[in-house]
Chain A
Amino acid sequence: MLKSILTILLVGVGLQVATAQYKFEKEDRIKAKEVPAAALAFVEECAFPKKICWYREQGYNSVSIEAKTKFRGTKYSIEFDTLGTIEDVEYKIKWQDITQEAKSAIQSYFDANHSKTNIRKIQRQLTGPDLDLQQAMLTDEYVGTVTKYEIEVKAKIDGKYMLKEYLFDSKGQMLSVSEVIFRNSDNLEF
């Protein structure tokens, strides 16, 4: 009985491993010595007091390197390409940290498009020259950087609740939207 169950389990797992279509998006922890020199230099120049954790994020067609750290109570995520060129800096902010102009435009957009919204998470996304990005992170002065807002929203659309991720520019104009697909949670529910 026991042998049969184990055999069925193992054969099944083997078949699934062999035939499954993988969503090729993976985040792996890497060591500092595996990080491109330019990315390492950028982060070292910031002299963050806390530990830096490095990750390699692999998507369908792209690979990026990410540094994560906590500075003055805020979690920063700094993304680079594989050559170490910075792509953007992201960190969590509150609704009141958004400029009044952008807030009004974003709220108007939500009011016009959804019957009900509940903001789950807001991130400021910064792009720009290296020095300006470093300055922005260390001093909260956004000179020479471009700000975008990444907002995760629970919205009711056509009577159905969905989790959407919006990207707005600094004036609150919507740039892109994608639906966040919930991961399977059977092993937490049943």
Chain B
Amino acid sequence: MLTLDDNMTLAPAQRARLVLGQADCATVTETVCAITERPRPPMAWYVAFAISSAATLMFFASIAYLIATGVGVLGNNNPVFWAWPIVNFVFWIGIGHAGTLISAILFLFRQRWRTGINRFAEAMTIFAVICAGIFPAIHVGRAWVIYWLAPYPNQMSIWPNFRSPLLWDVFAVSTYGTVSLLFWYLGMIPDLATLRDRATTFWRKLLYGLFALGWTGSSSQWRRFEWAYLLLAALATPLVLSVHSVVSFDFAVAQVPGWHSTIFPPYFVAGAIFSGCAMVVTLAVPARSLFGLKSLITMRHLDNMNRLILGTGLLVAYAYGIEWFMAWYSGNPYEMFAQLNRALGPYAWGYWIMVACNVLAPQLFWFRKMRTTPWLMWIIAVFVNVGMWFERFVIIVASLGREYLPSGWGMYRPTMIDVMMLVGSFGLFFTLFLLFCRFLPMVAMAEVKGVLPKDHGVAQHS
């Protein structure tokens, strides 16, 4: 039998509650708004913010140093021209994909449990895209002319090359950032209006009022809002699949052994969602207990995310296997060498960290105990994040380090600045996330209200 605080039933005849406890509209508003309205955030927030903002400072300081001095401060060399900056870029852009999956794809599939976590998963997407966008921009050498990437009429009378995957990347990533931001903001307008209507101080009234755009919740507004939201979801779904496909073209269109492979687009998309779901769990587990959101982000939500991690993890494992098959089946000695070099070469430790974290660690999610124990799932999710970072490291560094001609081989070693930038980008990500938790509605209140259980236990609207 269902109780108010348990929605982990496996009985197919019983619809699991999406919101636990005393679930009515006022409670939902109170729970979510209280996070931003209480005079002070919890102590843990201050500690986390101090650490992450320090790391952010370090990030921007190292960027300033890089720009003032030149790309020589990074470990990038000949032949490993693309090194950590691009590893970090692909890693962060992948993190973002789970947010769009939850907000758009699960919306189209009418997975109503998404309402508990979609807002902060979307926020995670935007912050990850911000972190991702920084890396290609700063590693080009002369970052101050990065606007040359845009097709604009200029005194040099030249245009960018539209046949280049790197240019496709510019369009894909900037479109992804823009559409994610629109989707996130549009969905947040009703909730910003809630905060506006509850505001008591001048600044809260002014700022929430400004961003709520004068939302009244009239039926004519809701009608257009729902259409636009549905269509944005329908646009974001193919977009999210295209973005990491285009990112994979950066590699697959090149002729480097280990890159030139048709499996890359689906393999990258699966890996992106895999890593993104892991990041959602990494953020959700501490956030829900810190801000008292356990009734809205329930154990069932986490269980579902862990199942997604397991599923996409199996896809990724399949892709790793197919890479071996393709290397052998191609009959191409360079492809076979590239594959052997990954597993047995100088970066073999990276490959086996990747396999251990991405293939073996998620298998623990076959056990229900693992999927429903917060600290255990958190550890596994962190392992997956580490593994997915190493996947990109192995693809980029191990392939570039040993291409066709042994005379052109070389080893890559990161410098201190590389490490500071990676750590710093995490700092930026967590800083933005902590600010979001403190000042914006962390849960999509209006959407949750629509799926509240009524007296007869059926969600009120679809």
Whether chain B is bound by chain A comes out as no
Q: What is B's interface to A at a CB cutoff of 8 Å?
A: none
Q: What is A's interface to B at a CB cutoff of 8 Å?
A: none
